[in-house]
Structure 1
Amino acid sequence: MKADNVSMQGGGYYNENSNLQGQAIDKSLELLRPSGHQGLSIILADYGSSEGKNSVQLFSQYLKTLPSVTSATLVFNDTPSNDFSSLTLTIHQNWDTLSLGGSISINTLLSPRSYFEQVLPDGFVDAGFNFTALHWLRNMPDASSTSSSLSAAAHEDFVTFLSARHKEIRQHGTMTICIPSDGEISVLPTFRCFEASLRNLYDKYQVDPTIARRLPMYFRTLDEILTSIAAVDTNWSLKSRHNLPLMHTSWSPEVIEASSEEARMAGRKRYTDAVAGFALAACSQVFIDGLKPQGYQGESSEDEVIRLKERFMTDLTFAFKEEFPCTHCTDKVGFTYTLLQLERL
């Protein structure tokens, strides 16, 4: 599997389990400098839209800050394997929200290509956005990958991304990036939980548990981020930077301390269920690709493969929810974001 064609789980599942990513958008827009855009029309692009719930939130909130705008073109970009049927349904169901109750005339475009390539015409975009996406690497790590090789790959990916956006975004346009980074609040506990869960399921499905250590993600340090931006400083100017640590929205103090054992257990169950949905919405495709249907009890027909994947996901979800409250329910699951606003030179 080529990692830059990884997509989030479709069928509405990612929309339902991406509240943390939505919170990052809310917090980021509160921190960003007001746009200096004065025209009647604007073109916005979200690079990494998935099923679109958070893109709708992003575009609608951003447009509210632009009183002069009467028409907007909104670009929804994701990898070709993304669930574009679900994305188009989300757009259709939220047309009134996107158009600010009909006060703005909107046109929507879909861009089904990896954002590590140029995906839009030169000088097309006024403002681009990338939320909770650039921690995904272009290439899948293997057993020989080291921290230094992953750091180098992440640097190359970041520079490639910014170089492609430099072609698409007009001069003095903006690129806003909210990137999960190295920090105390992270998703690493979910990786360890996935590995333990896959070990428990290995006899049944033969999915390598160590794949949970090689998920195609890298959480850059601030120094690594700034080094990548410095490499393209003739193309981009860093206008603002913020640190944004966010626990998963389902966490509450009751997870650790509560007035009763019943309340504590209820808090832990809410946290476990939400974290399971959040983690599986992002990572399930990687684990499903680890299945080898042709070697599993002779199953080879398309219907049998589909049923095998469904059984695997049901069992993995159950195993995760069994493991997490025993070993990780007091861990700080979430993202430590670095929020960047860049101006295209």
Structure 2
Amino acid sequence: MEDPSEQAAIAATPVENEVVMRGNGSYNKNSAIQHIAVMPALEFIPNLSNRKELTLVDYGCSQGANSIIPIKHLLSPLPTHSTIHLIFNDRPLNDFSTLSKTIKRNEATLSRNGELQIYPSIVPVSFFHQIAPDNSIDIGFAWSCLNYLEFLLPPLPSTDLQELVKQRAVRSAKAAHVDLVKLLRLRAREIKSGGVFMSAIPARSSSGVPNVAPAAAALMAATLEMVHAGRISQAQVMGLDMPVHERSMEEMERVFAEVEEVWGKEVCFEKMIQHPAVAELEVKKKAEGVDLEELSKEYASTVVDWAMSPLTWFFVKTLRAGDGEMDEEEMFAPMTAEEEGLVDELAERAKRAFVRDQKDGIVEQCYIYFKLVRK
């Protein structure tokens, strides 16, 4: 007999996830772990020094800050006067204004001061769709984005928060498998035989160490404070259901096995990545006459702002969903002043909770890195 929660999920039609990172350059400013996470992948970027023309896609590029280093690394050995087509891809509601400025600001760096002919373009389509013609791409990157699911999954019936979390984990794991298989098959259509697809994906550590635990605990404490203060409702907290899944290495291997007819696995490993503010805090603590309390507040502010950048729009969407039925235009309209105020309040409460309950706690995130070669 089927589980009632599964029946409820099947009965509802999923809505495509169009939620993106917080705009106005916020993600570029608050994506330090994502920036550091790119670095271990650089040594596996293929040497294309014999190529005179190249097409590269950065899937799920957001506002572009974390795209520049790997692209620069890839282009550095190319012969002078090579032609490079750079395709920057993300969902339609992405902050493409900031992305465009990021590309323009790094134009000289990417072109090696004009030695290379760079032709950038933007494709505002979810990477769960085909975004380029068949056999047109040489290499694809996807940094810190493949943990996001294709759909905003339908609600589950449980009213117990702990039970709800468990049910969501099972449901999201199933969706995540389907999503990644679909995504890799789409990339197999776009990427040429012998081409490469590389990713660093937020994941679940085989060690059992939870991801970003101090920041997550502070945000939960702040959320409950807002409920007790009557700023948001318990129902809204129960409705905060981010379409995200952090896969284990075992889950990744099952996906790779399902697409082995089109992809060969060349590299796959996991690594814990600390927020750079952790090391910066330890260095600052050693200075003479330093105010340790102020340093703790500064650290809390940095890591909470980092956590809020991807969370913000999911939080706002949850607030709006509690107001009744909305069409897509209303759901994704710019934030109101009241909503901005609630987002800022959540962040400030979380920063205080971090200092109070998680003081100087290490914020780190497990990543799984993989490099696939198109057969």
Q: Residue 35 of structure 1 corresponds to which residue in structure 2?
A: 47
Distance in 1 of aligned mates of 2:152 and 2:172: 10
Change (3 A) 1:118 1:178: same
Gap change, CA 1:243 and 1:218, over 3 Å in 2: same
Correspondent of 1:9 among 17, 22, 33: 22
1:52 aligns with 2:52: no
Paired residue for 2:212?
Answer: 187
Q: Which 5+ residue runs of structure 2 have no aligned equivalent?
A: 1-13, 158-166, 325-329
Instruction: Name whichever of 248-257 and 132-141 sits farther off.
Output: 248-257
| Change beyond 3 A, Cα 1:217–1:3 | farther
Query: How large is the Cα RMSD of the aligned pairs?
Result: 2.8
Q: Is 1:249 matched with 2:276?
A: yes
Aligned to 2:192, which of 139, 153, 170? 170
Listed as ranges, the matches of 1:144-293 within 5 Å are 145-183=167-205, 184=209, 186-202=211-227, 203-206=230-233, 208-212=236-240, 214-252=241-279, 263-292=291-320
- Counterpart Cα distance in 2 of 1:230 and 1:178: 19
Q: Are residues 342 and 330 of structure 1, via their aligned partners in 2, closer, same or farther at CA, if it must alter by over 3 Å?
A: same
Which piece of structure 1 moves more, 107-116 or 322-331?
322-331
Which amino acid counterpart does residue 278 of structure 1 have in structure 2? W
Q: How many residues align?
A: 339
Percent of pairs identical after alignment? 26
Asked if the contact 1:255–1:329 (Cα under 8 Å) also holds between the matched residues in 2, the reply is no
Question: Aligned-pair distance for 1:35?
Answer: 2.6
Shift of residue 121 of structure 1? Answer: 0.9
Q: Tell me the equivalent position of 1:314.
A: 344
Partner of residue 324 from structure 1, selected from 336, 354, 366: 354
Change (3 A) 1:264 1:153: same
Q: TM-score, normalised to structure 1's length? A: 0.89
CA contact (8 A) 2:51 2:78 kept: no
Alpha-carbon spacing, 1:235–1:86, altered in 2? closer, same or farther (3 Å)? same
CA distance in 2, matches of 1:224, 1:159: 11
Distance 1:306 1:293, change over 3 A: farther
Q: C-alpha distance in 2, partners of 1:87/1:256?
A: 32
> Which of structure 1's runs of 4+ aligned residues deviate more than 4 A?
253-263, 293-296, 302-305
Offset at residue 217 of structure 1 (A): 1.4
Answer whether contact 1:21 1:131 (CA < 8 A) is retained.
Answer: yes
User: Residue 54 of structure 1: SS of its match in structure 2?
Assistant: coil
Task: Give, as a single letter, the amino acid of the residue that structure 1 aligns with 2:39.
Answer: D
**Is residue 22 of structure 1 aligned with residue 35 of structure 2?**
yes
Equivalent-residue separation in structure 2 for 1:261 and 1:325 (angstroms): 20
Equivalent in the alignment of 1:340: 370
- In structure 2, which of residues 117, 142, 145 is the aligned counterpart of residue 133 of structure 1? 145
Instruction: Name the aligned partner's letter for residue 286 of structure 1.
Output: F
Taking the aligned partners of 2:193 and 2:137, their CA distance within structure 1 comes to 9
8 Å CA contact retained: 2:299, 2:360 = no
1:246-269 per-position Cα deviation (integer Å, ceiling 9, x unaligned): 111101385699568955434422
The TM-score, its normalising length taken from structure 2, stands at 0.82
1:123 pairs, out of 128, 135, 150, with: 135
Q: CA deviation at 1:98?
A: 1.9
In structure 2, give the amino acid aligned to 1:196.
A
Q: Which blocks of at least 5 consecutive residues in structure 1 are unaligned? A: none
Q: Take 1:244 and 1:80, find their aligned partners in 2: how far apart are those partners? A: 31
Secondary structure of the 2:152 match is: coil
Q: Is the 8 A contact 2:61 2:90 kept in 1?
A: yes
Pair 309,121 (structure 1): closer, same or farther in 2 beyond 3 Å: same
Q: Counterpart amino acid of 1:125?
A: I
Pairwise CA distance, 1:61: 2.1
Letter in 2 for 1:338: I
SS across alignment from 1:291: helix
Moved more, 154-163 or 252-261: 252-261
Task: Output the CA distance in 1 between the equivalents of 2:130 and 2:117.
Answer: 27
Change over 3 Å in CA distance of 1:63–1:271 after alignment to 2: same
Query: Is the deviation greater in 116-125 or in 323-332?
Result: 323-332
Distance 1:167 1:305 in 2: 38
